[in-house]
Structure 1
């Protein structure tokens, strides 16, 4: 980059006060989700899960933890996470062989999921982007299973049978249909 070259010159859609520029919609139908139900809600338990999965060479994408039950002496949580379906055997082997250590009650696997992501700049600083994304999905009666956000990406996990419809509806909601605009997506994994 020379002294006279600016970010705006290199990436023209990044000019202005972080104008909300939606670059495209991505989707992935190759992930699986596991939910560990009834895992003790205590420090170190999540570390044990994800350290073990890392040691097994598993790539984690999305994670959600929710308190499942609590009383005065016992708190348990459910932890859901997604990973490449091609690594399902590794995940199942780790979880099965470490059930005593992790102390979860039940492990559920769902391979019938798809991820849809809205990609662009300025999404974090402009209200309405998230609402429009989820309205496009709800207008098609698509249930959202998990949500992940970053400064440049908004992702939702949906039933695999609804992925194509989800992609089409979000494309339309943001004016990215092939006959109306050409989408520009700058490369990268986004993870």
Structure 2
């Protein structure tokens, strides 16, 4: 029995340390104040989140109208306008409005960045370099994707040959018939 007492004390101390460290980390977690929430929304706007969302919403409205036109070519233009309008309205409400995408992104930004960091990012995106980054990123991303896809196509044959050779060398694949 006397041997169990030190183990219990040690176990209790470990639990106490874990509990205190968990409580300390919870206490140090930054609160999502209305000011921080507003700054996060401003950051999303500054990085053209709204512009990208609106662009996608407009495209989806156009696609819905086009799909209707294909299905029913005799659809009046006014009906197509209404389809575009309603698709855009619903998507904008659900994405940008209360409870929408922005509200769902806010906690992600809040747990990733402190309020000070959010403000620093806002200052950056307000600068000429930040504005250039926002304007350039869609094109740069598209060009980067195209470059990566081209490289993947270039290296695919060599990659296939080397994998087949390695598998064959280990006796894990049959040699290719020429």
Q: Which TM bucket (shorter chain)?
A: under 0.3
Higher strand share: 1
Normalised TM-score (structure 2) = 0.24
Higher helix share: 2
Normalised TM-score (structure 1) = 0.23
Larger radius of gyration: 2
Structure number with the bigger relative contact order (C-alpha 8 A, sep ≥ 6) is 1
